[in-house]
Amino acid sequence: MAGALDGFTVVDLTTGAAGAMATMFLSDHGARVIRVVGTDVAALRADGYVIWDRGKECVRIELGQVDASQVERNASTDAFVQLVESADILVEDLGPSNDGQRSVDYGWLRQRNSRLVACSITAYGMRGPWKDEPAIDELVLARVGVLASMPGFRPAPVHVVHPLPTVGAAILAALGVSAALYSREESGQGRKVETSLMAGALLYHPKAIGENFDPYVFQTHPAGSAPFYSGYECADRRPPDPDDALVFCGFR
């Protein structure tokens, strides 16, 4: 059976886990994903990347040598332009102040390929006082207040072991790209998609408020709190049972 994204080509310029996961999702649905790596960078990555890089191709281009103005033509610029012109999607996770931003400026990309969907994944967005802060899950969770509101075996902040910002940003990036491709079917034009680890963290941090409702708290493990596994009273008004919650979460 053909995948939903069969025939689409993705240029993957990312180096972090969120970008690797996002492009993995696109690849799993049939897209051809081409990872761009430097000449001195190992193509095969360890740890979780063994899974996240599955089904992807690699091409070696030195992005630092890409001249967006094309005043001075070189092999790296020519190879990158060729990729951009033939791609449907480009995903990158360069920091807002990274020198490589000149190679992924959407105005320039759009001139080369008006149908290109360009997705940017940053730590806290392209603007604002935190834009150049490091893309570290634990710091993002602390900054946006997730750790301060977790139930635990001691007063907050409580560490969350799940990489919520990374996984959330990957999901949002894949959703944004898919929505942009759908829009392109009518408009014929690509667009810029932006998301961040901060947005990914907030994706998993909803708040529920009710009257006359006693909060129910349990701690799954001293190493870190479970961010969304608490059990709550529902319409049958049966008091939540900790054992039920553990079975539901697969911890028994």
Residues 250, 252: Cα–Cα separation, whole Å: 6
74 Cα distance to chain centroid: 31
Cα 16 from Cα 78, distance rounded (Å): 25
| Torsion of the alpha carbons at 41, 101, 118 and 126, rounded to the nearest 10 | 120
Whole-number pLDDT of residue 160: 83
Q: Which residue has the tokens 């967006």?
A: 68
Mean pLDDT, contiguous 10-residue spans, the chain (252 residues): 92 97 97 94 92 95 81 83 96 94 93 97 95 95 85 76 94 98 96 97 70 55 52 57 42 32
CB 135 within 8 A of CB 200: no
pLDDT at 219: 53
Q: So what's the pLDDT on residue 63?
A: 86
The reported pLDDT for the residue numbered 224 is 54
Set out the domains of the chain in order of their start, with CATH numbers. Answer: 9-203 (3.40.50.10540), 209-252 (no CATH)
SS3 35: strand
Handedness of CA 142, 146, 148, 151 (dihedral sign): negative
Q: What is the pLDDT of residue 57?
A: 96
